[in-house]
Amino acid sequence: MTTPSAPAPALELRGVSCAFGAHAVFDGIDLTIPPGQMVALLGPSGAGKTTLLRILAGTLPPGRGTVRVLGAELGRLSARQLRRLRQRVGFLYQTDALVPGLRTVHNVLIGRLGHWSLLRSLLSLVWPQEVERARAALAAVGIPEKLHAPVAALSGGQRQRVAIARLLAQDSELILADEPAAALDPRLRRATIELLVRLARERGRTCLVSLHDLELMGAGFDRVLALRHGRWFFDGPPGGLDAARIAELFAEERARGVEPDA
C-alpha cells in the first residue's frame, strides 16, 4: 500500500488478532494510517474499538500479528523503549482524565512530565515550571483564564478541554482518543471533537478517535473506519458511509434496542 517514497505510516497493523478466552475480538486485521491523517473509528458497542486503542497504546499485547506505532514495532520494545514511545503518543480518555486536588496548571503540565527529571517534576508542584507553555495550551483550547482554577471548579466540557490542553503541552505526534466526548452534554460533544481535530490538524499530528455518535463523523475527519464482528466493515471518506450502510452497521445493536446517538 505504501510506496517507498511515502513517509513511514504513523500506525500500522498487520494480521492482528486478539481474543479474550474463547471470544475472538479481531481475527487478522490490517490497517495503515499515514502521518497527519484524522481518522474516526466507528462501530457498535463491543465491536472492539477500545480493545484496538489499548493494543495501539501498548497496554494490551495482541495475540498475533505485528503492531507498529510511529515506526516502532511494539512487540520488540523493552519496557524503557515502550515508555519513551508512549511519551510521543497522547491519550484522551472518556472521563477521569484530570487529577482531583491538582490545580489546572499542574493538570496541563502533567503532559510535560515525560520531558522533565524527577526533581524538576517535584519542584514544579511548588513553583510551576514552563507556565507559559501551559498558558498557551489553555489559550488554544479557549480557557486561558482557568490557569489557576481548581479542577473541582471546572465544568465537564472545560475538563475535557484541559485534557486536550495537556495533549498539546505533551507535544505528542500521535493522539489516540477513546470516545472523548461520550460523557459530555450532547451540545458540547461536537464542539469538543471539532476542537481536538482542528488543533491536531494545525499542528500536523495524527489522530485516531473512536466515536459512538454518528453525527460527529462530520467534525472534520479525513477518513472513517468502521469495525463490525472484529473486521473492517467500512474504510473511506466520511461521506461514503450512507444511511443503508449505517443501518447495517448498527443492525444488531438496534435489534437489542440500543439506538446509536445521532
Partner 1 sequence: MPERLRGVLPLLAVLVLALLALALGEYDLAPLLDPQEFARAIGRAATFLSAFGAPELGSGFLATCVRLTLDTFAMAMAATGIAIVLGLALALCTSHNVVLGESRGARRLVLQALCESARVVQDILRGVPDFAWAVILIASLSLGPPAGVAALALNVSGILARVYSELFDAVPARLLEPLRASGATRLQTFCYGVVPACGSTLVSFTLLRWECAVRNAAVIGAVNAGGLGSEIKRSLDYGEYSKVLTLLACLLLLTVGSDLVSAFVRGRLAQDPDHPLARRGGERSPGAQRASVFLLILVLVALWAWAMLHCHAAWWGNQSLEDRWQSTVQLFGGLLAPDLSLLPRAFESAVVPLSMAFLGTLLAALGAAVLAYPASATFQLLDAGFTGERISGARRAVRAVLLAAARGVAIVSRSVPDVFWALLLVSFFRLGTMPGMVALAIHSLGLLIRLFAEGADAVPLRRLEVVHAASGSRAKTYLYGAIPPCASHWVANTFFQFESNVRSGIVLGIVGVQGLGFLFTATFEWFRMDQAGTYLLVMVLLSLGLDRLSRVLGLARARIQA
Q: Which residues bind partner 1 (CB under 8 A)?
A: 57-60, 79, 82-84, 86-87, 89-91, 93, 96-97, 99-103, 106, 110-111, 113-114, 116, 118, 121-122, 125-128, 131, 147-148, 166, 170
- Between 61 and 236, whose beta carbon lies closer to partner 1? 61
Cα 71 to Cα 85: distance, rounded to the nearest angstrom: 10
Q: Which is nearer to partner 1, 86 or 190 (CB)?
A: 86
Q: Which is nearer to partner 1, 46 or 114 (CB)?
A: 114
DSSP state of 259: P
**Amino acid letter, residue 218:** G
Q: How far is the CB of 216 from partner 1 (least distance, A)?
A: 22
Look at the block and give the residue holding cell 465537564.
Answer: 156
Q: How many CB atoms lie within 10 A of CB 86?
A: 17
Distance between CA atoms of 242 and 206, rounded to whole angstroms?
A: 25
The smaller minimum CB distance to partner 1, of residues 8 and 123, is found at 123
Report the SS3 class of residue 238.
helix
How do beta strands 23-33 and 11-20 pair? antiparallel
Q: How far is the CB of 103 from partner 1 (least distance, A)?
A: 8
CB of 55 to partner 1, least distance (A): 11
Contact of 32 with 8, CB cutoff 8 Å: no
State which residue, 122 or 258, has the beta carbon closest to partner 1. Answer: 122
Helices then strands, counting H and E runs in the chain, come out as 9, 10
Closest separation in Å from C-beta 61 to partner 1: 9
CB of 167 to partner 1, least distance (A): 9
